[in-house]
Amino acid sequence: MIAVALPRRALPLAGHRQTALAHARTRLMICLLLFVAIAGILGLRLVDLAVLHERDRDARDAFAPPSPPRGDILDRNGIELARTFDAVAVAVAPRKLVGDPHALAQSLAAILTDRTPGQIYFELTHPGAFRYVARRVLPAQAKRINDLGEPAITLEREPERLYPNSNLAAHVVGYTDIDGHGKYGMEGALDTQLTALATRGKPVFLAIDSRVQQALENELGAAMTKFSALGAAGIVMDVHTGEVVALASLPEFNPNIAGQADDNARFNRATLGVYELGSTFKTLTIAMSLNDGFIKSMDQKYDATAPIHIGRFTIHDDRGHELRKWATVPEIFIHSSNIGTAHMAAELGATRQRAYLDALGFLSPVSGELMERGHTLYPASNNWGEIATMTVGFGHGIAVTPLHLATAYAAVVNGGIWHPATMLKVESGQQVPGKRVFSEKTSDTMRALLRMVVTSGTGRKANAAGYRVGGKTGTAEKQQGGRYEKHVNVSTFAAAFPMNAPRYVVIALLDAPHGTKETSGFSTAGMVSAPIVEKVVTRIGPMLGVAPDLVHDVDVSGMLGLVAKAPDKE
């Protein structure tokens, strides 16, 4: 018997079809909602990308030139003094080294000519994880090293600081260490500003004018060689703003290879070195006495008949320059009489002298942004008696930096207002801090006196034709090992020009110059430093827009009328 089972057929039940249809619709609806949701999400993301992120990108402007890792330093006319570039450093991960270190060291030394195979081998076999083989290599060398194909050797990009003008203004610009931190000069002083993200994009404008700086350095260097001096310092300063237009200290160094410079070259003689600047201080003593009314007229006479014996000291005039009489103020100034000036200072008194020196900044470290700022040496206040007052009056017993002297001379000639020195450019119209120290009238008289020294006194060699230079010589015996050396001088000439309306102060200082046949063996300031000022002024006058004038000059005839006999030479 064959039993056949028929397949069971689902019987269409009433309402079943409707239910199936409803299910299908529900599924369709869910799918539809899913699509809408996906489309919605996509739409929202698009809006997010297109609107919100786009705005972000605009704000950050990803394609704008990136600000350098360290800000540029420019001079007042926009000439580059320091810039940063991408350089390449060769590094090695010794543990990952594949090739033979001996052979690799040989082939690297063939490319990096300043390193020996031994030095390179030392780095390649060092137990550390990361070592530099060489830093700041040339792009061509980097390419050849890359071509060696050693995977453990990597080329790292790192910023490199370049000083295009090499030695120019090295003491002002300064340098950075290998890791890009400012160590000296303005690089050190403005390190935070130069590296901060917000400010590094904007270059720093210094007050330095490279052309003036070059003229000053060149003339100082020539004189230093000619007179076999140990060093030299020079400053050109704007008398109305205190801007240091040029500041030089010789010998100098190349900031691109600052590590190779010796300490003597790195020593900033203009802001860190303190010197007894001698007779240049007489200008200040006379200005103080004039300002406080002790000198009522130029024909007032002071005793210069004989040396002053006070305590165990004797104050006498330089040999061959003794006046041996009661001398007028212009006579004392033009003959640079120590005795006359000492009497003047004694009359002024220690308290007033101290107050003036304080107001002129001599009792504090020198102004300006540099970190290399010298502390002045002066008598302690309880020891500032009559002797100290007298010697300080003619510039002995007080040691200051040449920059101190420049700010004080600026105050003497600019109408009597002292401004702190600044290495940064002062925009025209910008307010500069300043305080009145001398009256206008004092300043006017001092200008005539200073001009007279150059037309008819010890500063004749500084008389740059047409530029109306005025100034004062200062020859001080150098102190070495606690005692004064008779024949070793610090010869300074402090000048300003044009004297009818002074604009710039120029200081030239030679440290331990030797006389030549041309100077008849003299190494005094009038012989060795004054000619530097003449040459510098002739060069920088036209650059700084000072028009030479051979016709108009400061009238010194009134002063000269009070001088019985002008000195022949210093």
Partner 1 sequence: MKTSLKSATLIAAAMASAMGCYAISLRASAERARIDAGRVRIARDAADIRLLQAELRTRARLPELQRWNEQVLALAPPRAEQLLHNPRLLAGYAPPAPTPVRAPVELAAVVRDAPAPVEPIRRVAFAAPRVGNDLSADAAVIGTIATNGAGTFQKIALR
Q: Which residues bind partner 1 (CB under 8 A)?
A: 63-66, 79-80, 83, 85, 162, 164-168, 210-211, 213-214, 217-218, 465-467, 538-539, 541-542, 547-551
Is 279 known to be catalytic? Answer: yes
| Min separation Cβ 229 and partner 1, Å | 20
Measured from the CB atom, the residue of 162 and 363 that comes closer to partner 1 is 162
- Sequence-distant (≥ 6) Cβ neighbours of residue 88 within 8 angstroms: 136, 137, 139, 142, 155, 156, 157, 158
Spatial separation of the C-alpha atoms in residues 473 and 478, rounded to whole Å? 15
| Min separation Cβ 524 and partner 1, Å | 26
Measured from the CB atom, the residue of 166 and 383 that comes closer to partner 1 is 166
Q: Which helix (H) or strand (E) holds 162?
A: strand 153-162
Spatial separation of the C-alpha atoms in residues 406 and 472, rounded to whole Å? 12
Q: Which two tokens stand for residue 386?
A: 């009559």
- Sequence-distant (≥ 6) Cβ neighbours of residue 151 within 8 angstroms: 96, 98
- List the end-to-end C-alpha distance of the chain, in Å, as a whole number: 155
Q: Nearest-CA neighbor of 142 among 111, 121, 104, 105?
A: 111
Spatial separation of the C-alpha atoms in residues 565 and 229, rounded to whole Å? 32
Q: Is 75 exposed, middle or buried (0-12, 13-18, 19+ CB in 10 A)?
A: buried
Q: Please tell me which residue in 279, 337, 367, 523 is annotated as part of the active site.
A: 279
Residues forming a β-bridge with 248: 234
Residues 532/509, Cβ–Cβ less than 8 Å:
no
Q: Is the peptide bond before 498 cis (omega within 30 degrees of 0)?
A: yes
Spatial separation of the C-alpha atoms in residues 389 and 357, rounded to whole Å? 11
Measured from the CB atom, the residue of 56 and 147 that comes closer to partner 1 is 56
Measured from the CB atom, the residue of 99 and 548 that comes closer to partner 1 is 548
Q: Nearest-CA neighbor of 208 among 473, 540, 533, 431?
A: 540
Q: Nearest-CA neighbor of 533 among 223, 200, 256?
A: 223
Measured from the CB atom, the residue of 135 and 211 that comes closer to partner 1 is 211
| Min separation Cβ 164 and partner 1, Å | 4
Measured from the CB atom, the residue of 59 and 550 that comes closer to partner 1 is 550
Q: Which two tokens stand for residue 260?
A: 């190779």
Q: Which two tokens stand for residue 93?
A: 């991960």
Measured from the CB atom, the residue of 343 and 503 that comes closer to partner 1 is 503
Active-site positions read: 279
